[in-house]
C-alpha cells in the first residue's frame, strides 16, 4: 500500500472503539461500538483502509435499537462483528441493556436499510463473532471464549455450546473473538488483559472452527503494555486481507496526554497496522501506520446549516431520537430541540452531538433559546460534562464533575440568539507531571464580533481515567428547558497534525 508512514494517528479518530472490518472486492467496510447513543453502530467505507467515510449507521430505526431512558451511560451497543457471506452483509452485536441481548441484522447493501433484528437467546455473553465453514455451518464465538452453531435466519442455536480457548493462563477478560479460515488452519484471534493499559491481542490456531487450538508462541501478537508508546490500551483487533494479498489489522487504542497517570479524552479510537506471516504460519503485527500526508483532511471540518430533513450520519443522540424532541422539519434551516429532562445531568436529556475527533478543536453554534434554555456542551456522561447555556438574556457556564454541579460564570447578553463556542487546546504546561490533557474554554461571541471567555476548565475531568466507562467526548447541542433552536453548528480542528517517524 503506497503513501504510508509509521505514525501514532488513528485511521478513524475519536470515540470509535471495537472495530470490525470486512472486504468485498476493492471495497472495505468498518463498524464500531456506539454504547448509549442512537443511531447505533457507525458504518464506514474505504478503498484503501486509510481514508474512511461514514456512510450510515446500522441500527438507525427504533425497531432495531431500543435503549431505555434510565440505562446507564456505557451501556447499550457493544462490539459488533461485520462479515460478508454468500452475497450478503451480516452484523452481530450485543445490546447490553434491559430487554437486550445478542442480535443479528443483515442487508444486501451496506448503506442500508438493514433488516430488523433476529434475536439470539441461546448465545450468552458479549462480543459475538460470525464465521462460516465449508459446509455452510454458521459459528458464533463469544467472549469467554465459547462457541455455538446458529441459524442466522432464525436465531436458533444448533447443538451444544462448547468452550474453546481463553488466551494466556491467568489473563483477565478473554473477549473479542474473531475466527478465520486462513490457509490450512482456522485461527482464533482474541483480546485479553482488559481494555485498559494491559490490553493486548493473542491468537491460536487449530484444524477446524472448534479447534483444538494451540497458542501462538509469540503471544501477545499486539500490545503496548509497559511501553512509552504514545498509543496505549491497544487491543480488540480484526484481520482483513487486502485485494493485493497483503494482510492488515484494525484495532482500538487510546492517546493519553498530560502528566501522570495520563488521560485520554476521546475514548478508544481505531488504528491500523500491517500484518506479515512467519514461515511457520503465525502473524506478526507491525507498527501503526497512517497516510503519509497527516495534515488536516479536507473533510475534517464540519458545518451543518440544517437545510435538509435528514440528519448527517455523524450526529448521535442520547438513547433515542424522537421527532417530538429533536427535528429539522419544524423550522426550515433550524434544528429544534424540545427539553424532556431538566439538565444534562438527567439520563433522558435531549442532546445531539458529534464525537470529538481532534486533540485541538473548536465548535460553535448559533442558539436561539428565547423560548427556553439550552446550549453547547462537551459531554462524557451524566456526571461529567461542561456546558455553555443561554436563556436568551444571560449566558452561563455549567460544570458537572462527579457529584458536584456548579455554575462557573455568568454574563448578561443582548436579548435574542447567541453564538456559543467551545475551544479545546493543549495544556499550558505540557511537561508538568500534574498537568491535565487539555484546556476547555467556553465563551460567547459579543455583538462586536469579539470572543468573550467565560471559563477555562481542566479537561482531565472529562476523561475516561476520571469518569470511567467505555465512551469518549461528544460535543453538541442540548435543551434544558422549553424549546431551543439552532441555526447552525460548526466543528473544526485547530492544530495541524504533525507527522511522526
Alpha carbons 217 and 210: distance in angstroms, whole number: 20
Alpha carbons 104 and 114: distance in angstroms, whole number: 10
| DSSP string of 190-232, one letter each residue | EEES-SSTT-EEEEEEESSTT---EE-TT--SEE-TTS--SSE
Paired strand residues for 12: 270
3-state helix, strand, coil in the chain (%, to 5): 0, 50, 50
Alpha carbons 107 and 117: distance in angstroms, whole number: 11
Alpha carbons 438 and 187: distance in angstroms, whole number: 41
**Which residue do the cell numbers 430505526 mark?**
61
For 217, the grid coordinates are 508462541
Opening angle at CA 369, ends 366 and 371, nearest 5: 150
The span from the first CA to the last CA of the chain, in angstroms, equals: 17
Q: What is the DSSP letter of 298?
A: G
For 83, the grid coordinates are 462479515
Alpha carbons 147 and 248: distance in angstroms, whole number: 25
Angstrom CA distances, 173 to 57, 182, 195, 447, stand at 28, 25, 8, 55
Angstrom CA distances, 446 to 137, 271, 409, 421, 450, stand at 65, 41, 16, 11, 5
Question: What residues are annotated to the active site?
Answer: 18, 175
Helix (H, G, I), strand (E, B) or coil at 104: strand
- Asked if residues 20 and 82 have their Cβ atoms less than 8 Å apart, the reply is yes
For 324, the grid coordinates are 417530538
Amino acid at each position: 500500500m503506497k503513501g504510508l508512514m509509521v505514525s501514532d494517528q488513528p485511521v478513524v479518530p475519536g470515540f470509535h472503539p471495537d472495530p470490525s472490518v470486512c472486504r468485498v472486492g476493492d471495497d472495505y467496510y468498518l463498524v464500531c461500538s456506539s454504547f448509549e447513543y442512537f443511531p447505533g453502530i457507525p458504518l464506514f467505507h474505504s478503498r484503501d483502509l486509510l481514508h474512511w467515510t461514514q456512510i450510515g449507521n446500522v441500527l438507525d430505526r427504533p425497531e432495531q435499537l431500543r435503549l431505555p431512558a434510565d440505562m446507564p451511560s456505557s451501556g447499550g451497543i457493544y462490539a459488533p462483528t461485520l462479515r460478508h457471506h454468500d452475497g450478503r452483509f451480516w452484523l452481530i452485536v450485543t445490546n447490553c441493556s434491559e430487554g437486550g441481548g445478542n442480535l443479528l441484522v443483515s442487508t444486501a447493501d451496506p448503506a442500508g436499510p438493514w433488516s430488523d433484528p433476529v434475536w439470539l437467546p441461546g448465545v450468552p455473553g458479549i462480543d459475538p463473532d460470525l464465521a462460516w465453514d465449508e459446509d455452510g455451518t454458521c459459528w458464533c464465538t463469544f467472549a469467554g471464549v465459547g462457541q455455538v452453531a446458529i441459524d442466522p435466519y432464525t436465531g436458533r442455536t444448533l447443538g451444544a455450546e462448547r468452550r474453546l480457548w481463553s488466551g494466556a493462563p491467568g489473563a483477565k477478560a478473554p473477549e473479542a473473538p474473531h475466527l478465520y479460515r486462513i490457509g490450512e488452519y482456522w485461527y482464533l484471534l482474541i483480546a485479553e488483559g482488559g481494555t485498559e493499559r494491559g490490553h493486548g491481542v493473542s491468537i491460536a490456531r487449530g484444524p477446524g472452527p472448534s479447534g483444538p487450538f494451540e497458542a501462538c508462541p509469540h503471544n501477545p501478537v499486539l500490545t503496548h503494555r509497559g511501553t512509552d508508546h504514545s498509543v496505549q490500551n491497544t487491543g480488540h483487533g480484526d484481520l482483513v486481507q487486502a485485494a493485493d494479498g497483503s494482510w492488515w489489522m484494525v484495532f482500538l487504542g487510546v492517546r493519553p496526554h498530560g502528566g501522570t497517570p495520563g488521560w485520554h479524552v476521546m475514548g478508544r479510537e481505531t488504528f491500523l497496522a500491517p500484518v506479515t506471516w512467519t514461515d511457520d504460519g503465525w502473524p506478526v503485527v507491525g507498527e501503526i501506520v497512517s497516510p503519509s500526508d497527516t495534515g488536516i483532511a479536507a473533510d475534517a471540518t464540519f458545518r451543518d446549516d440544517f437545510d435538509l430533513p435528514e440528519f448527517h450520519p455523524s450526529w448521535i443522540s442520547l438513547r433515542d431520537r424522537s421527532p417530538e424532541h429533536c427535528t429539522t422539519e419544524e423550522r426550515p434551516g433550524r434544528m429544534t430541540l424540545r427539553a424532556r429532562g431538566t439538565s444534562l445531568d438527567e439520563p433522558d436529556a435531549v442532546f445531539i452531538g458529534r464525537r470529538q475527533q481532534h486533540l485541538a478543536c473548536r465548535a460553535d453554534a448559533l442558539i436561539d433559546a428565547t423560548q427556553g434554555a439550552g446550549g453547547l456542551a462537551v459531554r462524557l456522561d451524566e456526571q461529567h460534562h461542561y456546558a455553555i447555556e443561554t436563556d436568551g438574556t444571560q449566558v452561563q457556564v455549567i460544570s458537572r464533575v462527579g457529584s458536584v454541579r456548579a455554575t462557573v460564570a455568568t454574563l448578561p447578553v443582548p436579548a435574542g440568539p447567541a453564538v456559543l463556542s467551545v475551544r479545546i487546546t493543549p495544556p499550558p504546561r505540557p511537561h508538568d507531571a500534574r498537568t491535565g490533557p487539555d484546556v476547555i474554554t467556553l465563551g460567547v461571541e459579543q455583538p462586536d464580533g469579539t470572543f468573550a471567555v467565560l471559563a477555562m476548565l481542566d479537561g482531565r475531568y472529562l476523561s475516561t481515567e476520571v469518569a470511567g466507562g467505555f465512551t469518549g467526548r461528544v460535543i453538541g447541542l442540548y435543551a434544558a428547558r422549553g424549546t431551543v433552536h439552532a441555526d447552525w453548528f460548526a466543528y473544526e480542528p485547530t492544530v495541524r497534525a504533525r507527522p511522526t517517524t
